């Protein structure tokens, strides 16, 4: 009888403990991707007067452009300075969607496997921005833009009347713009049809679709589709200067823009004046609705804060010798020896960055093997990384 009771007790313990161990295993498995969303970023100052707070402002805007809601209460857990030049970023606290986290997990895993990360203890902040915001395929995956143009159209309704643009600041050809029927925050979407031919005569074909809608955090989300309805990294540079989604973000500056050069009235379409009025109305509605978003560390009223993001990736793509000396942990004289013979330039928008070099020329001279970034931050690049699919 005692043997039977002892046997029953053992079986009871096994049945009780086995699910617990499975739960512990499952918890560990679930926790691994969460822990892996923490990454160390190395700050190599863009210029002598750049401050840590400006760096955080730039990163907040970068994460926000990717769809992060950035809850204010989690900001202290999102960013933590391990040293004067090493920043810990826990993107699990950034307010990303579950799907965005899955794609970020794939990216971060690749980042951590790079020689730069393993040997220096982190990734350059500029490289991180270039491989997220400024890499179109990664941007599309993280933001969750519709994977095809037909799918994008199913999410919104558009007015039957369109705007016809002959003189465009963006397109070298004629454009057709569609307006949403609904102006509420998450139903705001626009479509620009790039054409070949003449919309004045009606003899034209559509060659590309450039779209944007609004993400739950209030930021604009951009996509570019070819005639087959598939996402492409950048617009056709022979037809448009629209470039990549990153250029759309830079140009729009979080706003809905009106036509600045259009003057020709196209019969059957909204006139340039009507387009301007409608665009300004939608812009005002968007601004008003953004004020209703609470609890985010992004302040849409601070319209120039996004410049801090641009400085992070511009100074990376076009580094000075002084920046490279910090990045490579070398003396300036040694860096200058390595850079000998390379071409230099001054940045038109930010001349205070000094004498600059080109990233694709200096990376092969650095002390590590680096993950390759696109050749251009904003425009068509012959190389676009794809570390997610």
Mind listing the pLDDT tens digit for each residue in 363-376? 999 999 999 999 99
Q: What is the pLDDT of residues 66-86, one digit of tens each?
A: 999 999 999 999 999 999 999
CA angle 353, 358, 364 (to 5 degrees): 130
What does the pLDDT read at residue 139?
98
Distances in whole angstroms, Cα of residue 127 to Cα of each of 41, 70, 274, 312, 318 = 9, 21, 42, 9, 12
CA atoms within 13 A on the CB side of 63: 29
Residue 22 has pLDDT above 50, yes or no: no
Q: What is the pLDDT of residues 194-218, one digit of tens each?
A: 999 999 999 999 999 999 999 999 9
Coarse DSSP helix, strand, coil percentages of the chain, rounded to the nearest 5 percent = 45, 15, 40
The mean-pLDDT minimum among 51-65, 296-310, 328-342 falls in: 296-310
What does the pLDDT read at residue 188?
86
pLDDT category at 26 given cuts 50, 70, 90 is very low
CA atoms within 13 A on the CB side of 43: 25
CA torsion through residues 300, 107, 318, 234, sign: negative
Beta carbons of 353 and 320 less than 8 angstroms apart: yes
Residue 250 has pLDDT above 60, yes or no: yes
Strand partners, 180: 158
Model pTM score:
0.89
Compute the average pLDDT of residues 119-142. Answer: 98
Residue 274 has pLDDT above 50, yes or no: yes
In this structure, the strands spanning 190-198 and 123-124 are: unpaired
Matching residue, tokens 């892996």: 36
Burial class (CB in 10 A: 0-12, 13-18, 19+), 350: middle
Of 35 and 245, which is predicted with more confidence? 245
What does the pLDDT read at residue 255?
86
């Amino acid at each position: 009888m005692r043997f039977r009771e002892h046997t029953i007790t053992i079986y009871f313990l096994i049945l009780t403990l086995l699910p617990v161990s499975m739960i512990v295993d499952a918890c560990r498995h679930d926790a691994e991707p969460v822990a892996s969303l923490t990454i160390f970023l190395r700050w190599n100052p863009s210029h002598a007067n750049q401050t840590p707070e400006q760096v955080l402002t730039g990163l907040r805007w970068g994460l926000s452009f990717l769809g992060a809601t950035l809850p204010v209460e989690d900001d202290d857990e999102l960013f933590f300075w391990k040293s004067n030049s090493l920043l810990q970023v826990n993107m699990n606290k950034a307010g990303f969607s579950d799907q965005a986290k899955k794609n970020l997990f794939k990216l971060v895993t690749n980042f951590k496997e790079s020689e730069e990360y393993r040997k220096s203890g982190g990734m350059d902040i500029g490289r991180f921005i270039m491989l997220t915001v400024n890499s179109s395929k990664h941007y599309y995956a993280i933001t969750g833009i519709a994977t095809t143009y037909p799918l994008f159209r199913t999410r919104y309704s558009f007015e039957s009347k369109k705007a016809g643009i002959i003189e465009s600041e963006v397109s070298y050809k004629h454009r057709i713009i569609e307006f949403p029927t609904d102006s509420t925050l998450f139903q705001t979407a626009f479509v620009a049809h790039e054409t070949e031919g003449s919309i004045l005569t009606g003899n034209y074909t559509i060659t590309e679709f450039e779209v944007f809608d609004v993400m739950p955090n209030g930021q604009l989300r951009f996509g570019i589709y070819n005639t087959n309805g598939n996402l492409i990294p950048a617009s056709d540079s022979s037809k448009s200067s629209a470039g990549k989604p990153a250029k759309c973000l830079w140009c729009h500056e979080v706003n809905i823009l009106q036509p600045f050069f259009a003057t020709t009235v196209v019969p059957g379409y909204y006139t340039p004046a009507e387009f301007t009025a409608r665009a300004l109305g939608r812009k005002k509605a968007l601004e008003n609705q953004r004020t209703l978003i609470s609890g985010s560390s992004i302040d849409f009223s601070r319209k120039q804060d996004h410049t801090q993001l641009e400085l992070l990736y511009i100074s990376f793509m076009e580094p000075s010798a002084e920046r490279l000396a910090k990045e490579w942990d070398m003396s300036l004289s040694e860096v200058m020896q390595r850079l000998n013979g390379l071409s230099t330039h001054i940045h038109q928008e930010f001349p205070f960055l000094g004498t600059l070099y080109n990233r694709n020329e200096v990376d092969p001279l650095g002390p590590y093997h680096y993950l390759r970034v696109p050749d251009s931050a904003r425009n068509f690049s012959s190389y676009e990384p794809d570390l997610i699919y």
